[in-house]
Structure 1
Amino acid sequence: MTPHHTETATEPLTEPVPLMGCPYKADPYPLYERMRDTGPVHRVLFPSGVRAWLVTGYDAAHSALNDDRLGKNHDRGNDRWRARASIMPEPQHSQLQVHLLHQDPPRHTRMRRFVTDAFTPRRIEGLRPRFQQLADALIDALPETGPADLVTGFAAHYPFQVLAEVIGLPKELAARFDRDWGKVVQPVGPTDPGRPLYEARLHGLQSYIAEIVSHKREHGDDDLLSRLVVARDHGELSQEELDSMIFQLLVAGQEPVTNQITTALIALFRHPAELARLRDDPDLLPRAVEELLRYDSAFELTTWRFFDKDSDLHGTEIPAGDSVIVSLCAANRDPRRFPDPDTLDLDRSPNPHLAFGHGIHFCPGAALARTELRIALGTLLRRLPGLRLAIKDEDIEWIPAVLGRGTNHLPVGYDRRL
């Protein structure tokens, strides 16, 4: 069963369209459908009070992701955006937010070349046996029979353990990583009562990054973190660029995969026949993972983009410095690109989804994420026969994050642990 389109498209859309609230987070697709039907660009309102321009159709999204007029650097944002964007306080913003997601060429090009070798499909494939060991060890630690929480028992740990292997994060430091540090990317305004906790997490993460840099300087090896520290020491990266790149690896390198494991499992629980097919035929996994990425992506929306002068975007005039955001989820359900887009079709081919973005900001960790998802889903389905949701579908608590989709708890039942 799928959650479905209970609201009608008869009411006209009033802009700015609010992108917030539990019904929206539980199932944003009916709203995205209405927006696509009335045009590719819409004025929207975020919980922080930021008003932005949202791109919803596949062709418009693909074009925007490749539009070199749209820059990612926060310096391009105008005062209206800055007043409400709840970006990090200084000095942390300047110290941690100059990573790849917020850079434009030529700086982006220079920085990105330091990370691509660590995430090549060939290297990731060579690490697959180790990734499989990590998945099996986590399942070994689950109760012999359900119930269990697949977030706290598996999905919250597996992507980080894999990431630590890939980037060379030492075991003793990996063991001390606090997953809550990743929440510093969720906007918390200066007057928000949660601001002191937010700032404490920010300082904790900064101290942790400093420890990593210090450790790699003393115990360097042939791994990504060591190479980044060497690049800093040779003057090829600034201290801010080094710290920001480690920040991005730690935060963007694992939380989205945690969330994508949960969205994929929920989609399969809602389609038990497809779950059974996938369990019985593991050869389906590569194609199934692409469809699960398309069907409900953990990266719901991209981060901010800005024009540096008033510009036309698919017939809409966008003021300079206003934020433009692309809805990857809306693009991936566009019927003009995907037949029967609201149907989970594990045989769908071709499947040119935009779950990892497109253009120069295409996710450098895409090959790693695909491998993690194939191993995670394949192992869970194989080793936990009878895997099923242990709560009512409507009781799933979707995370309130602005840009992402997922859940912090996924209670499941299963017959036994193999």
Structure 2
Amino acid sequence: MTFQDPLPATGRDPLPDPVPLSGCPYKADPYPLYARMREAGPVHRVLFPSGVHAWLVTGYDAAHAALNDDRLGKNHDRGNDRWRARASIMPEPQHSQLQVHLLHQDPPRHTRMRSLLTDAFAPRRVARLRPRLQELADACVDALPENGPADLVAGFAVPFPFQVLAEVIGLPPELAARFDRDWGKVVQPVGPADPGRARYEERLRGLQRYIADVVAHKRAYARDDLLSRLVAARDRHELSQEELDSMVFQLLVAGQEPVTNQITTALIALFRHPEQLARLRADPAALPRAVEELLRYDSAFELTTWRFFDRDSDLHGTRVPAGDSVIVSLCAAHRDPRRFPDADTLDLDRSPNPHLAFGHGVHFCPAAALARAELQITLGTLLSRLPGLRPAVADEDIEWIPAVLGRGTHHLPVTYDRRV
């Protein structure tokens, strides 16, 4: 991450072309820049820290339309040479072996692969699992110090979603214990000349070996669980080996990291609005609607993954060349005052609340019901069992992750009166 000065948040000076999306001030609070971009138009050329240029969609209506635009495909094969030169930097052979997952596929291949996942994350199954998820959440709180301080990322926001994921997909305890969270950083690739490239490639190889061990274990000890069913689909030739490995990769990394990050953004929003936090502690029945507003107010998925036109196309009045990447800013869409009255206000009673935190259209997150349950259980558990929960650092000292597409924090130091 660079430490460049942020763009001015106010004023009538024209936006640069491209608009740089980098720097610690931007990651800490991107919303003033997104407001300027929305006011100037729905589509802007942007520059990421890696040097990748993309077209960013910022308003709610434009974002909703782009997420449902069947002209925009997700397969990386659509990317042109300009995009591929800087964005497709996960090295071979891992790029070919781990990037064939749902986020990078289009129908009908996407439809076929997605059908293997839906039952595992169906709302009815999530409802049946809620008592077990509550047990896992309580166990994480039991492991926290009796009195603060504590780091809620290391102490709760990391272990709880991973334990939930392991339960849902059938990752056995002995393999779950071996998972290294550092492997999750493979979704933050660095270029070949970056000093951290060797460490990045080491993470990739370690994760790939782990995935091979998971597949081998499930082939030898099949159970009635999602991982076993995916391995069986591979053995029936319904999935290629690359598709299987990529789907396991997606489950292990994308399946829990966003929930970890959303826990941190939700808690920070409540810490900044202590009256809302007190209200939720006093009225747990308000949690379902509050979670929807917290998902809107500061989404862990700040930006979507790449989409591409297969021919030069018009996107809300802007000509986008074939193979250039198009990205939707969910956070910018969620603060659009044309769709959400008082969009910059945290309103836990907001209704309706048609946020796009889980996407929309064919790529709507298949695990949305599970993520909602995790967030409701998290907030209900932490607020009831940690009286006086409050931040232990100044707001400006919170360290936001440098991920390009996501929002969250590395650490969240808190204190509380006692653990009950």
What is the CA–CA distance in structure 2 between the aligned matches of 1:6 and 1:18, rounded to whole Å? 12
**Partner in structure 2 of residue 191 of structure 1:** 193
- Matched with 1:170 is 172
Aligned counterpart, 1:360: 362
2:388 to 386, 389, 414: 386
The one-letter code of the counterpart of 1:374 is Q
**Which whole-Å CA distance do the structure 2 matches of 1:200 and 1:94 have between them?**
17
Once the 2 structures are TM-superposed, how far is the Cα of residue 372 of structure 1 from its aligned partner? Answer: 0.2
Counterpart mapping for 1:304-323 below 5 A:
304-323=306-325
Deviation string for 1:73-93 (max 9, x for gaps)?
111001111111143111111
Match of 1:273 in 2: 275
Partner residue of 1:22? Answer: 24
Asked if 2 retains the 8 angstrom alpha-carbon contact of 1:86 and 1:188, the reply is: no
For residue 156 of structure 1, what is the amino acid of its counterpart?
A: V
Distance 1:383 1:96 in 2: 40
C-alpha distance in structure 1 between counterparts of 2:183 and 2:257, whole Å:
11
In the TM superposition, residue 345 of structure 1 has moved relative to its aligned partner by: 0.2
Tell me the equivalent position of 1:299.
301
2:139 counterpart residue number: 137
Give the C-alpha shift of residue 187 in structure 1. 2.1
Instruction: Name the aligned partner's letter for residue 337 of structure 2.
Output: P
Task: Say which of 148, 152, 155 aligns to 2:154.
Answer: 152
Contact 1:86–1:189 at 8 Å: present in 2 too? no
- Within 1, Cα distance between the matches of 2:89 and 2:321? 20
1:86–1:190 contact (8 Å) kept in structure 2: no
2:82 pairs with 1:80: yes
State the secondary structure of the residue aligned to 1:127. Answer: helix
Query: 2:34 pairs with 32, 35, 38, which one?
Result: 32
CA distance in 1, matches of 2:212, 2:123: 30
Which residue of 352, 367, 374 maps to 1:372?
Answer: 374
8 A contact 1:308–1:320 mirrored in 2? yes
Offset, 1:195:
0.5
In structure 2, C-alpha distance between the alignment counterparts of 1:117 and 1:173, rounded to whole Å: 23
Q: Which residue of 2 aligns with 1:215?
A: 217
Aligned-partner Cα distance in 2 for 1:242–1:22:
37
Q: Which residue matches 1:237?
A: 239
Residue 60 of structure 1: aligned partner: 62
In the alignment, structure 1 segments of 5+ residues that lack a partner are: none
Question: Among 323, 343, 350, which residue is 1:348 paired with?
Answer: 350
Amino acid paired to 1:243: D
Identity percentage over the alignment?
83
Letter of the 1:210 partner, please give it: A
Aligned equivalents of 2:40 and 2:400: distance in 1?
27
Residue aligned with 2:362, SS: helix
Shift, 1:12, TM fit: 1.5
- Helix, strand or coil for the counterpart of 1:204? helix
Given candidates 51, 69, 72, the residue that maps to 1:70 is 72
Unaligned stretches of 5+ in structure 2? 1-6
1:338 paired residue number: 340
Residue 203 (structure 2) aligned to one of 187, 193, 201 = 201
The Cα offsets for residues 117-148 of structure 1, whole Å up to 9 and x where unpaired, read as 10000000100011000000010011111111
Once the two structures are TM-superposed, the CA of residue 7 in structure 1 deviates from its matched residue by 2.7
Runs of 4+ in 1 over 6 A off after TM superposition: none
Q: Partner amino acid for 2:240?
A: S
Counterparts of 1:12 and 1:377 in 2: how far apart (Å)? 41
- 1:315 to partner: Cα distance: 0.2
Superposition TM-score, scaled by structure 1 size: 0.98
Aligned amino acid, residue 245 of structure 1: M
State the AA in 2 paired with 1:69. Answer: R
After TM superposition, give the deviation of residue 11 of structure 1 in Å: 2.1
Mapped partners of 1:416, 1:403: distance in 2: 36
**Rounded Cα–Cα distance in structure 2 between residues aligned with 1:169 and 1:178:** 14
Check the 8 A contact 2:9/2:36 in 1, yes or no: no
Q: Distance in 1 between matches of 2:144 and 2:268?
A: 19
Amino acid of the residue matched to residue 393 of structure 1? D
Instruction: State the distance in 2 between where 1:352 and 1:7 align.
Output: 27
Q: Which amino acid aligns with 2:298?
A: D
Deviation at 1:9, TM superposition (A): 3.1
- TM-score calculated relative to the size of structure 2: 0.98
- Deviation of 1:155 after TM superposition, in Å, equals 0.4
